[in-house]
């Protein structure tokens, strides 16, 4: 696979992260507000018991079942995208406000549909992704408080059951990061998380020094994963903004990070 799969970044990595973090301030503020609002409704003790038994802590669909609180959060997300310069006022005004449409957007995000597209549709998908991620992140943080998922046997998230899109290494331990709720759990699986292939030519690693990431690509089953040392990472929302073009380039070539 050609190295041109990975886009180059025009700035230094530190400058890029700093600029994106500044741009993302309205979105990060919204995430904190939604977390403090505790839109999830969980029996935390029961959730932790399920994880200890090797079961996913909670059903993500139930946390995103709709209601006035999520509708209001969605509209705030649209406003935050405008404030961040990621949506125009015209696009924001055209975003649908109907409860059924918002619920459909959240369900599509949960099923793995990318938060991409142009115009009002693209803004709506991004807003749904921000709300979905924020609510599930809050739920998973509540479940994981004081606990470590060091012995979790699966490559799927112990909290919401989502697929990881990042592998971060810290102190010689690999941590997978859930693409939906940002939960982290340790994993001894090297190479492909789908078919477990580890060697070339099935698995190849393509480094991108400009982004500080390595793209792990499995030619056997078409999965990819972004990996890097955890040191120096910003908020996960910022990291995903940083690597958005990388993901798009991979998926344009038929790769995916969900099994």
Report pLDDT digits (tens) over 43-99. Answer: 999 999 999 898 999 999 998 887 788 899 999 999 999 999 999 999 999 999 999
Question: Is pLDDT of 11 > 70?
Answer: no
Whole-angstrom distance, CA of residue 72 vs CA of residue 99: 10
Q: Which two tokens stand for residue 252?
A: 């344009």
Predicted pLDDT of residue 4? 40
Predicted pLDDT of residue 83? 93
Whole-angstrom distance, CA of residue 78 vs CA of residue 88: 10
Of residues 118 and 104, the one with the higher pLDDT is 104
Q: Coil, strand, or helix at residue 217?
A: strand
Whole-angstrom distance, CA of residue 224 vs CA of residue 15: 26
Predicted pLDDT of residue 177? 94
Does residue 102 contact residue 70 with C-beta atoms inside 8 Å?
yes
Question: Is pLDDT of 256 > 60?
Answer: yes
197-205: average pLDDT: 89
Predicted pLDDT of residue 7? 46
pTM for the structure as a whole: 0.88
Helical H segments across the chain, by residue range: 13-23, 25-37, 44-52, 60-63, 68-83, 89-94, 99-110, 119-144, 236-242, 244-252
Nearest to 195 by CA among 219, 172, 163: 219
């Amino acid at each position: 696979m050609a190295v041109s799969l990975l886009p180059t970044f025009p700035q230094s990595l530190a400058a890029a992260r700093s600029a994106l973090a500044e741009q993302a301030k309205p979105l990060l503020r919204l995430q904190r507000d939604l977390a403090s609002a505790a839109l999830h409704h969980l029996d935390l003790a029961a959730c932790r018991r399920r994880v200890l038994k090797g079961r996913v802590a909670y059903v993500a669909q139930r946390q995103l079942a709709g209601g006035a609180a999520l509708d209001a959060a969605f509209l705030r997300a649209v406003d935050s995208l405008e404030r961040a310069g990621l949506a125009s006022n015209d696009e924001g005004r055209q975003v649908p406000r109907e409860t059924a449409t918002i619920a459909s957007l959240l369900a599509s995000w949960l099923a793995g549909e990318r938060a991409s597209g142009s115009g009002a549709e693209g803004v709506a998908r991004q807003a749904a992704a921000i709300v979905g991620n924020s609510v599930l992140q809050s739920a998973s943080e509540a479940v994981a408080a004081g606990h470590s998922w060091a012995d979790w046997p699966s490559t799927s998230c112990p909290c919401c059951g989502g697929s990881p899109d990042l592998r971060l290494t810290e102190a010689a331990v690999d941590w997978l990061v859930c693409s939906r709720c940002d939960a982290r759990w340790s994993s001894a699986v090297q190479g492909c998380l789908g078919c477990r292939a580890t060697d070339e030519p099935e698995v190849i690693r393509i480094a991108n020094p400009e982004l500080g990431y390595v793209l792990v690509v499995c030619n056997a089953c078409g999965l990819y994963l972004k990996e890097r040392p955890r040191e120096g990472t910003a908020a996960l929302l910022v990291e995903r903004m940083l690597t958005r073009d990388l993901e798009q380039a991979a998926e344009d070539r038929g790769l995916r990070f969900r099994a």
